[in-house]
Amino acid sequence: MCSPQESGMTALSARMLTRSRSLGPGAGPRGCREEPGPLRRREAAAEARKSHSPVKRPRKAQRLRVAYEGSDSEKGEGAEPLKVPVWEPQDWQQQLVNIRAMRNKKDAPVDHLGTEHCYDSSAPPKSKVKYIKQTSAILQQHYGGDIPASVAELVALPGVGPKMAHLAMAVAWGTVSGIAVDTHVHRIANRLRWTKKATKSPEETRAALEEWLPRELWHEINGLLVGFGQQTCLPVHPRCHACLNQALCPAAQGL
């Protein structure tokens, strides 16, 4: 038999247990919720983070732009192509200014002598005379006494090379088809290092000059350098002491 006190304690415990179950898990003996344990706190925090974390979206692939590409707004009919930097000689602009200054009198042989001297009675007969006679006959028969209007037809004539063909196109037809390069232009261009590498023929020099020299200078450069080569930059014993480019000319530094 239990004593009245033990019976009362048992009944009280039973009521407390019943009340705790009715309040649900975590209810204390006074009807308050129990403090969650460390494990439940971690689980609750994880759930909270999960519910509030932003939804991960697949990253959009970014297109890498390079320097030579234009944007959509830049593309179109009016858009200018990106200029690619080209090689050019050092100090060439100042060298050109100095050559113009030395040639301002226009008193070199090239400025006064022309083809009319080819038939000079005092001149010894040369192959050029033969070529002139042959070419004259071809022009009379096939071109009505005129001259061809293309470089290809001009160089097909006897004794006419690329230099004379480009000169004829400029003088006769007013068309700048290329740079006329003779021995003077070839020599001076190499002495001034106006070619990216040393050239061995006038045609190779022409191609090298046309790669970088502005087209508006093509017509001028032949007469300018030919006269300069006749007066100052001579093939043998050039007059470097009288040249304004003495300090700028690579060839003069080695003399």
Q: Which residues are catalytic?
A: 163
Both tokens of 117, joined, read 């001297």
